[in-house]
Amino acid sequence: MPYTVPILNLLAACLLLISFAMLSRRRTQRLVNLFAWQGAILFLSTCLVAHSSGLHELYYSAALTLLLKVIALPLILHRLINRLGAQWDSETVVNIPLTMLAGLVLVIFAFGLAQPISMMATTITRNMLGIALAVILLSFLMMITRRKAVTQVIGFLAMENGLFFAATSATYGMPMVVELGIALDVLVGVFILGLFFFQIREQFESLDLRNMENLKED
């Protein structure tokens, strides 16, 4: 349909802008909200691709995205943050302007890397593969520039959003069995990491991962 590609381009641009916003945010709860917005954009884009391509199984993927990434995981993360008292993440490895500059370099690299790959794809979303790769790289950058364990987990989940968007852009998504397996792994992983966070705080009275560098073998 004629309106599909412009709307998908707009949603992809919003996804990229949210990734940049996550790089600049220090408050952990706002990072969770931005992650939920990423999930909402993935839900809308998947529904639009399902409607335009006639692949009705993508609606199940969209429903799973809505349930897990827009509702379940943000609620779990908000509750975890409140229990841990980790609403603020004021420390970064490098300052925000330098991080944003590095993010711009990664976006240029992602578009250059994706250009020959997207030319071989046959989907209507092939031109958005560069944005998907940029989202993955920006999420990875957020993981390595934050000191708190909670924010690194949010970065990991945002990276998974980029991988999902890349799969949708290149091949109209992954098989449903694979998506269900990944969704279950992510959900279980968040629960396990939640327990891990409590252990870190109990041991060090902080969620700063630099404290773990001081551990020495007996």
- Which residues lie closer than 8 Å to 24 by C-beta, 6 or more apart? 96, 99, 100
- Whether pLDDT at 48 is above 90: no
- Whether pLDDT at 36 is above 80: yes
| Percent of the chain scoring above 70 in pLDDT | 67
Confidence of residue 177 (pLDDT cuts 50, 70, 90): very low
Q: Which of 46-55, 81-90, 145-154 has the lowest mean pLDDT?
A: 81-90
- Whether pLDDT at 184 is above 50: yes
Structure token pair of residue 50: 């399902």
pLDDT score, position 171: 66
Section 114-142 average pLDDT: 78
- Whether pLDDT at 183 is above 50: yes
Look-up of token digits 């008292």:
85
Distance CA 69, CA 59 (A): 15
Section 58-71 average pLDDT: 85
- Which residues lie closer than 8 Å to 173 by C-beta, 6 or more apart? 46, 49, 55, 57, 58, 61, 164, 167, 179
- Whether pLDDT at 196 is above 70: no
Average pLDDT of the chain, as a whole number = 76
pLDDT score, position 37: 94
- Whether pLDDT at 103 is above 70: yes
Confidence of residue 143 (pLDDT cuts 50, 70, 90): confident
Query: CB count, 10 Å around CB of 127?
Result: 18
| Percent of the chain scoring above 90 in pLDDT | 12
For residues 24 and 118, the model is more confident at 24
Section 46-54 average pLDDT: 81
CA-CA-CA-CA dihedral for 34, 129, 9, 66, to nearest 10: -40
Confidence of residue 69 (pLDDT cuts 50, 70, 90): confident
- Whether pLDDT at 21 is above 80: yes
Structure token pair of residue 115: 């250009």
Section 39-52 average pLDDT: 87
Section 6-34 average pLDDT: 87
pLDDT score, position 105: 93
